Amino acid sequence: MLWLAAHYPQWALQYFCYRNELEQSTAVLLYEPKSLQVLALDSQSEQAGVKFGMSLSTAQSLMPSAMLVEFDASISQQASDWLCQWSYEFSARVVPLRCSLTNEQQKKTSKTKLDVDDFLPNTLLLEVSSMALIFNGIDKLVEQYRQRAQALGLEVSLALAKTPLAAQLLACDISMGNQQAKLTAETFSPNDYLNADKTLPLLNQLPIALLPLSDFLKQSLHDMGIKSFASLSALPDKELGRRFGVKLLQLLAKISGSLPQPLIYFEPEESYQQKLTLLYEVELMQGIVFPLGRMLKEMASYLQLRQLAIQQLKLSLIYRDSDRSKLDIVIQYPFAEHRSDSLLSLCRMQLERVTLYQPVVEMVIYVDKFVPIAVSHDSWFGQQKVAQGQRSEKALRLMAQLQARLGKDKVKGLQASSAHLPEDSWVATDLSVTAKDQSITDKRQQALPEVTSGSSALYAGACRPSWLLTTPEWIAVEQVELLKGPERLQTLWWQEPQVCRDYYVACHYQGGLCWVFKEGNRFFLHGWFG
């Protein structure tokens, strides 16, 4: 197997800049809320003299214009999921990266001095040997992955190796500026790190400081004069294990591949949730649309990756006052949507009817149910073929926009029911239910045309008006001219009340075709033909 390691030294900070679409000239400092120390910084702040671990007050004196961002573990987890989601396009086996800050906290709570880790922080792993045919070669896969990361504003270092741990070590080494050049006169180019045949010479030049060892182990090896991986691996295993423990031997075996390394792969969740902390308080609903558009754009790429669409989206707006409950808004997409522009346009129409009672500081979108994307096929001549009984895409968009503008209860669909009387033969239903029933009917017609054709025999040759009056109105027989009929419609013998009518197609004296029926000796107007 061949593994691609992607080392992201500033992924949490760069994800924050990407999510909020900050310009590259904006200086940003990520700090720890308890100790008030700088955890991550941009290149502009670094040039001004700000360093990792510096107190926040000192960093502000050096860079007063920097934006201060409080580190949140939930944001780092969200950033990790985001990296895994778009990396999932390049490999079905993605190993999530670990936050270096969490790793440091684990080191502080370590119980023994001989602890050894088998995973390097800030490094994502992808198994790429099985994807070579899809991308027409490993080189093209690596180049496309690099271009995708750079397009998202991420700083990344890539390395290839036959074992996961070796790939991580090489990616971290190239990210730190080829420190092995200080240990030997031999130097390597960045392309050498993408050649699996050069893994062993590259590993031999690695400094001990890069290995995931405890500080005690690193200092002990340094005191013995062991400064490189080559000198460490040359020591006898028996003596090395007796002095520094079996975990160190297992680490060396995992690097060389003689001992397998268990990994936990990323699996897309069955639900989708995205949280955004606003940089400013939003008091009007118009201010919600812009950051919401970025969130929906990211969700659209997730839906496209999994070939899914949504019919309902839950939007939660968290107010500034924590005592007030959050505002939960359910956004409806009756015909299932997955494109970012359509997701935003329908969402904006529905948000126009919502009023904010306090400034909003956070936004959360959540989806727990998905449907497959309905793909429309075009003909050879570029004209869309619409099957009988199906609606065109423009008609679906129009109905969805009407529902979003007027409200879910204001726009309904019509569905036939098993009843003889015209006023009982149609019922109003939700648009999504109507579309679902129509798709089922179309499938049945395709599978069993001879059966479904018989079910529609009741309506064969029947002339029905497009506009049916809610209540039939009495009309004088002199006002109409009977053209066709009669057609008798009556209730079944067990139904109450008993109704028997003789319907006619007639011409009204003022013009237009109408539908009238005779009940007793009187005529009633029941509908108009379009």
Which domains, ranges and CATH numbers included, belong to the chain?
109-256 (no CATH), 272-372 (3.30.1490.100), 401-459 (no CATH), 467-528 (no CATH)
The more confident residue out of 407 and 169 is 169
490 Cα distance to chain centroid: 54
Q: Provide the pLDDT confidence category of residue 160 given band limits of 50, 70 and 90.
A: very high
Under DSSP, the state recorded for 24 is T
Q: Does pLDDT of 139 surpass 60?
A: yes
Residue type, 482: L
Q: Specify the range with the lowest mean pLDDT, choosing from 23-27, 35-39, 45-49, 358-362.
A: 23-27
The more confident residue out of 203 and 398 is 203
Residue type, 354: V
Q: Does pLDDT of 111 surpass 70?
A: no
Q: Specify the range with the lowest mean pLDDT, choosing from 314-318, 425-429, 452-456, 520-524.
A: 452-456
Q: Provide the pLDDT confidence category of residue 332 given band limits of 50, 70 and 90.
A: confident
Q: Does pLDDT of 162 surpass 70?
A: yes
Mean pLDDT for the chain overall: 83
Q: How far apart are the first and last CA of the chain?
A: 69
What integer is the mean pLDDT of 274-293?
88
Query: What is residue 76's predicted lDDT score, i.e. its pLDDT?
Result: 84
477-493 pLDDT, tens digit per residue, is: 999 999 998 998 888 88
Q: Provide the pLDDT confidence category of residue 179 given band limits of 50, 70 and 90.
A: very low
- Altogether, the residues listed in the chain come to a count of 530
SS3 label, residue 483: strand
Query: What is residue 142's predicted lDDT score, i.e. its pLDDT?
Result: 94
Q: Which residues contact 197 (CB under 8 A, 6 or more apart)?
A: none
What integer is the mean pLDDT of 262-269?
89
Helix (H) or strand (E) segment spanning residue 217: helix 215-223
Q: Provide the pLDDT confidence category of residue 170 given band limits of 50, 70 and 90.
A: very high
What integer is the mean pLDDT of 82-96?
92
- pTM of this prediction exceeds 0.75: no
Query: What is residue 481's predicted lDDT score, i.e. its pLDDT?
Result: 94
What integer is the mean pLDDT of 354-369?
90
What integer is the mean pLDDT of 385-393?
52
Q: Does pLDDT of 449 surpass 60?
A: no
Q: Which residue has the tokens 């944001």?
A: 75
For the chain, count helices (H), then strands (E).
17, 19
Query: What is residue 58's predicted lDDT score, i.e. its pLDDT?
Result: 93
Q: Are 506 and 493 in contact (CB under 8 A)?
A: no
Q: Provide the pLDDT confidence category of residue 443 given band limits of 50, 70 and 90.
A: very low
Alpha helices in 245-321 (DSSP H): 246-256, 286-306
Query: What is residue 393's predicted lDDT score, i.e. its pLDDT?
Result: 66
Query: What is residue 365's predicted lDDT score, i.e. its pLDDT?
Result: 94
DSSP states of 86-122: HHTTT-S-EEPP--HHHHHHHHHT-S-TT-B-SS-TT
181-200 pLDDT, tens digit per residue, is: 444 445 677 788 988 888 89
How far apart CA 62 and CA 43 sit, in angstroms, is 13
Alpha helices in 307-430 (DSSP H): 340-351, 393-406
Closest CA to 147 of 134, 161, 135: 135
What integer is the mean pLDDT of 495-508?
90
Q: Which residues contact 134 (CB under 8 A, 6 or more apart)?
A: 141
Query: What is residue 388's predicted lDDT score, i.e. its pLDDT?
Result: 42
How many CB atoms within 10 Å of residue 4? 26
How far apart CA 139 and CA 154 sit, in angstroms, is 20
Q: Does pLDDT of 31 surpass 70?
A: yes
| Phi, psi (deg, nearest 5) at residue 92 | -85, -10
How far apart CA 195 and CA 191 sit, in angstroms, is 7
Q: Are 334 and 432 in contact (CB under 8 A)?
A: yes
Q: Specify the range with the lowest mean pLDDT, choosing from 139-143, 223-227, 378-382, 492-496.
A: 378-382
User: Where on the phi/psi map is residue 254: left (φ > 0), alpha (ψ -120 to 50), or beta?
Assistant: alpha
Structure-block tokens of residue 205: 């030049």
Q: Which residue has the tokens 């720890």?
A: 32
- In a 13 Å sphere around the CA of 433, the CA atoms on its Cβ side amount to 11
Query: What is residue 473's predicted lDDT score, i.e. its pLDDT?
Result: 94
Structure-block tokens of residue 375: 């793909």
- Angle at the Cα of 312 (from 367 to 328), degrees rounded to 5? 75
49-77 pLDDT, tens digit per residue, is: 999 889 999 999 999 989 998 888 777 88
Query: What is residue 437's predicted lDDT score, i.e. its pLDDT?
Result: 53
Q: Which residue has the tokens 């949280």?
A: 275
Query: What is residue 382's predicted lDDT score, i.e. its pLDDT?
Result: 46
Closest CA to 277 of 476, 71, 438, 59: 71
How many CB atoms within 10 Å of residue 269? 10
Q: Does pLDDT of 105 surpass 50?
A: no
Closest CA to 307 of 394, 391, 370, 392: 370
Query: What is residue 26's predicted lDDT score, i.e. its pLDDT?
Result: 86
